[in-house]
Chain A
Amino acid sequence: MANVYEAVIGLEVHAQLSTETKIFCSCQARVESGKTEIPANSNTCPICAGHPGILPVLNKKVVEYAIKAGLATGCEISLVNIFARKNYFYPDLPKGYQISQYENPICENGFLEIITKDGIKKKINIQRIHMEEDAGKNVHLAEFSLVNLNRAGVPLIEIVSGPDMRSAEEAGVYLRGLHAILTYLDICDGNMQEGNFRCDANISIRPRGAKEFGTRTEIKNVNSFRFVEKALDYEIKRQTDVVQSGQKVILETRTYDSGRGITLSLRTKEEAHDYRYFPEPDLIPLQISQELVEEIKNVLPELPSQKKERFAKDFGLSSYDASVLTSSKNLALFFEKAVRKLVLKGWNILDASKPMANFLTGEVARLLNDENIEINQSKLQIDHIVDVVTAVKDGLLSSTGAKQVIAMAWKNGDSVSIIIDREGLRQVSDNNILEQIVEKIIANYPVQMTQYLSCKEKILGFLVGQAMKESAGKANPVVIQDLFMKKLKGDHNASS
């Protein structure tokens, strides 16, 4: 973007709550979080299918979960809640209206603090969090479309941010932060592919420094953090091009085509809905007691920001490592368990956490990112990483070898010792074998040997590298270096 313009981004997140049952009936709520798909429309009842004459009865757990989300994001909790009907026609909406909240959302005026890559801290306002029911799913076939209502009535919270983000990066950090909070609270499974956590982004651009907003577009239902960032980057560029070419941005809803990496118009303002909200007469106003709010506040689990602080302190981690490790509840738990295992084996806690953090924030984080999954969805087990760290310490594995082992274990789940043997990655630390190599290198590079005497550091690296090459990467570089130093020192002393 030409530096003259800045982006203004607000996000609406729909998070499916991981309650046992749906929001207004007793059907299962977590139909799609399992591996096995259940038959279409088998998880329905007259209520969530919207049969004539049915009435909703509110699931208490949904209220508790929404309060948790509000408390974790610094919101005020409304003690009187009114549900509203949002009326619109769509085949996957059984009743022709969605029961939602309009004028009195359960949570208001919260915030989330984000830290960008450059270390800049920023408060993103959370305007409101409200409870509502999910719709079903339309399945489009060549000749006709079908509707699957298994998901209809699954509880959602919609979390609406202020228009406070100024870049795709900020939006990405906010989304990841929010995702972490909800999964830490254990109120959302957080699987974006399965639609547990969906994001709509409102974006506009304006001349830097301007007070008023430009015309916004809304990008609907993008299903990964990276796609949200890419869609926003694309949209910022598109809107900038539009404005710079003297045209105007149109108020419209757009969709992100991840294949082509572009956004496309879905519908314009003229086709926008008038939702005809009015208070839901089938539900009486919900009164929440202050005691319930306090009770929930007292049992809130450790949140990402708190865990991050604790990790830095207890494990001696850098702020960056701590934030990467705590960005996902599953990864944080994985780390803690792995370190505990090593400590139980007699390791010093700092000796254990350092290499563990390095592998998890390095190789493992890269693999997680590439596949866009959570650690518990991979084949990598705690024992793998514990064994790798132990093997490195014991000199059985080089750090390069360790990366290879992790990648292998990630792929097929084989045990570390099997992989080391099969791939021939066992590091050679035997002095007798390595001494031969060192002798050979010294003989082969007489010139470098002489140079070493004047500036040893540079040349030592070269020599170690040659020795590693000679050993086909299997030599323990620490031992090799030791041997070189001994040898060279000895020679030097001899010659002087």
Chain B
Amino acid sequence: MIVLKSPLLSLVNNMDLYNNIKQIHEAYNKKLLSPIELTKGYFQKIKASKHNAYLTLCEERATQQAKKADQILAQAGQIPHDRFPLLGIPIGIKDVLTIEGVRTTCASRMLEHYIPPYTATSVLRLETAGAIVLGKLNMDEFAMGSSNENSAFGPVLHPTHHDRVPGGSSGGSATAVKAGLCVAALGTDTGGSVRLPASYCGIVGMKPTYGTVSRFGLVAFASSLDQVGPLANTVEDVAKLLDVMAGHDPSDSTSLCTQKVNYTDLIQTTFDLKNLKIGVPNEYFMGGLQPGVDSSVHSALKWCETQGAKLISVNLPHTKYAVAVYYIIAVSEASSNLARYDSVRFGVRHPGKTEQDLVEFYKKARSLFGAEVKRRIILGTFSLSSGYYDAYYKRACQVRRLIQQDFDKAFNEVDVILSPVSPTTAFKIGEKTSDPLQMYLMDIFTIPVNLAGLPALSVPCGKDNEGLPVGLHMIGPAFGDGKLLAIANAFEKGFTINHG
């Protein structure tokens, strides 16, 4: 601890010290820092940053929350962990989750001025636990993309390599955490949208078991795949956020009613990797991996072996269909979910002359969507159309079940499956925008997990020769979120990253 109670400038310069919950709470307890000071510091840093990570800042709101945190702290003396486990922790929220009275754009022109009248359950739970919401984070439009280049409000820059993408669609969330523009952030993961940017930016990002975190207030892209997930600098912080958010929500019929696990407690005792059965899917290592990714993941696997874990090769034979299945199911659901944005119900409506012709009106309204969103709506509308439904949507649902069964079989043999998060590290801005298929393949390892509804996370495991982070993909069986976090925590604590 070097920094003492200090003027704002020196606080901003030393903010790296306050990038995880434990350190901040220690500083609060020792009165080295107050929630108001830290919040001010974060806003200074955000305003000075060029990453384009935030779309909307909630300065006034955050200040109120910080004041309240100050009061609670003053009254309690120490952080009352039971009631306010996230007291005074500044976080950012992907702009696909609603906050009452705060603009929620989904990074789309369509919702440029949309102010929701209610707050998402996940956000509400974090705020109730004492978290301070700094603002809404940039993303790919309607969470559709793998690079954050699909934002209507400009791409997010990679936190360290500014000519690179941060990954998507939760690019703003990953960059903000890594660049120190918030302590932790919420993202959403439909096909890898939390794990991919976490991997590209070198932080921890988790997609919990489908149904663990309420989707109420998550503006839907693909309802059967979407899941809210935390991004943070450490596995422990991810666990802490998940602890607060997890649990049944009566407003979400698909949220799980299972017994609540205390993830934070679970990772306090170090998990012994000895005799851990690690599945290594043959289909995920069949070539095409960027050398830096391949070597980093292999050194991670080797380290696990040295800790006494057993590497067992497993087969996930239907992996080759995953991207195709995903791009039928996800876009089909999206075509329906995005129907309400037509400038009649929701969406910007330009005042002045009204089109007399309904078709003209719709043409104009729906042109507010970006190219990728339009592409997916058209694909989805096609897949669901009568005469095509059986061949596309229905077939895809059948294959989805086969992919789930692949995982079920594998988890009869192993405790966890390890793989790369993505075949490559962060690529250059503009490099893949002309070839959507190339872009879709970035999610080839993450997509099957969403189709199967499993928990998975990305934890840093190395860097390529340009110093770009590589993420290790850990996949657990359904409801195995706690054990997965424990394994990731052991890895994070024990494994030393080889820097390029």
A282 with B117, Cβ < 8 A, contacts A52-B111, A96-B340 known: no
Interface stretch of the complex, out of A55-63, A406-414, A465-473: A55-63
Chain A 38-58 per-residue mask, 1 if CB under 8 angstroms from chain B, else 0: 000000001000111111111
Interface size in chain A (residues, C-beta < 8 A): 27
The reply to whether the CB of B224 lies closer than 8 angstroms to some CB of chain A is: yes
Within 8 A of A (CB), among B198-256: 215-220, 222-224, 250-254
**Are B253 and A52 in contact, with the CB atoms below 8 A?**
no
Closest-by-CB residue of A relative to B362 is A89
**B336's contact among A55, A278, A284, by CB below 8 Å, is which?**
A278
- Interface stretch of the complex, out of B150-158, B342-350, B437-445: B342-350
The residue on B at minimum CB distance from A87 is B336
What does the 1/0 interface line of A264-290 toward B look like (CB < 8 Å)? 000000000010111001111000000
Which of B216, B224, B332, B385 is within 8 Å of A53, CB to CB? Answer: B216
B116 touches A51 (CB 8 A): yes
Of B106, B340, B385, B393, which contacts A50 at CB under 8 A?
A: B340
Cross-interface CB contact of B333 among A51, A56, A277, A281, cutoff 8 Å? A281
Q: Do the beta carbons of A282 and B340 come within 8 Å of each other?
A: no
Q: With A91-B344, A95-B340, A281-B224 in contact, do A53 and B218 touch (Cβ < 8 Å)?
A: yes
Q: Which residue of A lies closest to B218 (CB)?
A: A53
Whether a CB of chain B sits under 8 angstroms from the CB of A85 is: yes
C-beta contact mask, A74-118 vs B, less than 8 Å → 1, else 0?
A: 000000000001010101001111000000000000000000000
B385-A52 in contact (CB<8A): no
* Interface presence of B118 (CB below 8 A): yes
B73 at the interface (CB under 8 A from A): no
A278 and B393 contacting across the interface, CB-CB below 8 Å: yes
Known contacts A91-B344, A94-B345, A97-B336; is A53 also within 8 Å of B253 by CB?
A: no
In the assembled complex, the CB of A252 is this many whole angstroms from the nearest CB of chain B, namely 19
CB distance B97 to A89 under 8 Å?
no
A280, closest chain B residue (CB): B223
Q: Is the CB of B253 within 8 A of A57?
A: yes
Name the CB-closest residue of B to A279: B397
Asked whether any CB of chain A lies closer than 8 Å to the CB of B386, the reply is yes
Chain A facing B: main interface SS: loop
**Chain B interface category by residue count:** 35 or more
Q: Which residue of chain B has the shortest Cβ distance to A276 in the bound complex?
A: B384
With A91-B344, A91-B345 in contact, is A56–B253 under 8 Å at CB? yes
Could you say which residues of chain A place their CB within 8 Å of the CB of B116?
46, 51-53
Q: When chains A and B are docked, how far (Å) is the Cα of A97 from the Cα of B334?
A: 12
A97 touches B344 (CB 8 A): no
B253's contact among A55, A87, A89, A95, by CB below 8 Å, is which? A55
C-alpha spacing A11/B97, complex, angstroms = 44
CB distance from B125 to the nearest CB of A (A): 15
Q: Give bound CA distance, A53 to B123, whole Å.
A: 13
Name the B residues within 8 Å of A96 (CB-CB).
Answer: 336, 338-340, 342, 345
In B247-287, the 8 Å CB interface with A consists of 250-254
Q: What residues on B are CB-neighbors of A282 within 8 Å?
A: 220, 223, 253-254
Contacting residues, chain A, for B97 (C-beta < 8 A): 53
Q: Which of A53, A89, A96, A97 has the most CB of B within 10 A?
A: A53
Given contact pairs A46-B118, A278-B384, A281-B224, enumerate 18 new A-B contacts (beta carbons under 8 Å).
Answer: A51-B98, A52-B111, A53-B118, A55-B251, A55-B252, A56-B253, A58-B253, A87-B339, A89-B342, A89-B362, A144-B354, A274-B385, A274-B386, A276-B386, A281-B223, A282-B253, A283-B254, A284-B253
B residues contacting A by CB (< 8 A) are 97-98, 104, 106, 111, 114, 116-118, 120, 215-220, 222-224, 250-254, 332-333, 335-336, 338-342, 344-346, 354, 362, 381, 384-386, 389, 393
Cβ contacts A to B, 5 pairs, < 8 Å: A52-B116, A53-B216, A87-B384, A91-B345, A96-B339
- In the A-B complex, list the 3 residue pairs whose CB atoms are closest, starting with the nearest: A96-B339, A276-B384, A281-B224
